[in-house]
Structure 1
Amino acid sequence: MDKNTENMLAGNPYRPGTPELNRFSYLAHRLCRDYNLTTDEDTVEREMIIDRLFPQHDDGIYLQGPIHIDYGRFTKIGKNFYANFNFTILDTCPVTIGDNVMCGPNVSIITAMHPLMYQQRNIRQQADGQFDDVEYGKPVTIGDNCWLASNVTVCPGVTIGNGCVIGAGTGVTKDILDNYIDLGVPGKVIRPYTDHDR
């Protein structure tokens, strides 16, 4: 891996449009497309795609499809994993999913972050003359025996403990201890962003 990819995985600022990351994402997006054209009867084809998309996985993965995966190679999935329709992973930082995890429809696991300041967030000409933006990420960990109900979004940097239940529509923004239930979306206006956020 090149230095830019190493920075991405470490949660440091990186450029998403480099040749290596483009190659990784193009492959993942192509594999997702191929998977999404299969059905439950296409077991051999599905297994081959999962092996290429998620090189770090245990046995017993079932993905209903469609799936939407940024890279796949940076996600580790334990045994007996189940995901319903529209499963999404943005794995710009490592995603670790334990054993016996179930996901309802429209579950999203997100590690990608963008700067708050638009001057840093927008695409602009970089020192090498290329136009690109700069991003960063925070890893996500989901413990064993968890159930994430429909429309759950796991936000960057979150660790969900073992045996947790995440209720439908929940935005998980903070770590959760083992065997807890997490419900709801507490969306509220926090504060304006300032130069302190740069």
Structure 2
Amino acid sequence: MSDFDDRSMRERMLAGDLYIAGDPELAEHNLRAMDLMDAYNATSARDPRERRRLLTELLGAIGEGTEIRPPLRVDYGSHLRIGARSFANFGLVALDVTPIVIGDNVWLGSGAIVLGGVTIGENTVVGAGAVVTRDLPANVVAVGNPARVIRTIEPGTP
């Protein structure tokens, strides 16, 4: 790392540049996320209002009608934005050291892993256990490690 770079470690991280993960600001941000994740993952399915409140506090954005089934794992949470009417089955891991954007009406299968810097287009299905390492376009089905598109979905198809 350059001695002439006056950006914070968080700014470096979000830019995808080298950074020190143990930086006090980043460490506190991560601990906050861990506390909120633990609380969310411990909530009852019978308490959707509390689940929604915790997700709203944890994530950068969460659209109307979106459901995430615990357990959920994130690095910071605030760098993860999920659109409306999306669904993440059990065990989503979103490594949001750089921003992750998940569009509207996206279905993430159980155990999916989404790496930082990835955008997943609207109406996309990500298969169970898939590892999303790069952007996925709208209206596709993607599976595997690394996730690859296996077919296109016609918009409006159930």
TM-score normalized by structure 1?
Answer: 0.70
- In structure 1, what is the equivalent of residue 76 of structure 2? 71
The counterpart of 2:130, out of the listed 152, 156, 164, is 152
1:135 paired residue number: none
1:50 pairs, out of 38, 55, 60, with 55
Unaligned runs of 5+ in 1: 112-138, 181-198
Contiguous gaps of at least 5 residues in structure 2 = 1-6, 154-158
- Matched ranges for 1:74-85 at <5 A: 74-85=79-90
Structure 2 match to 1:36? 41
* 3-state SS of paired residue (1:165): strand
Match of residue 161 from structure 1 = 137
Alpha-carbon distance between aligned partners in 1 of 2:64 and 2:119, rounded to the nearest angstrom: 19
| Structure 1 residues 80-119: aligned runs within 5 Å | 80-111=85-116
Displacement after TM superposition at 1:7 (Å): 0.8
Judged with a 3 Å threshold, the aligned counterparts in structure 2 of structure 1 residues 94 and 55 are, in CA distance, closer, same or farther, namely: closer
Deviating 4+ runs (over 6 angstroms): none
| Deviation by residue 1:41-79 (Cα, 9 ceiling, x = unmatched) | 111110110111113222112111111111110111111
Corresponding residue of 1:143: 121
Aligned residue pairs total 147
What's the % identity of the aligned pairs?
A: 32
TM-score by length of 2: 0.86
Deviation for aligned residue 1:26: 0.6
CA RMSD of aligned residues (A): 1.9
Amino acid at match of 2:40: Y
Q: Which has the larger radius of gyration?
A: 1
Aligned-partner Cα distance in 1 for 2:95–2:16: 13
Question: Do structure 1's residue 5 and structure 2's residue 10 form an aligned pair?
Answer: yes
- Cα distance in 2 for partners of 1:57, 1:68 equals 15
One-letter code aligned to 1:147 = V
Instruction: Confirm or deny that 1:179 pairs with 2:157.
Output: no
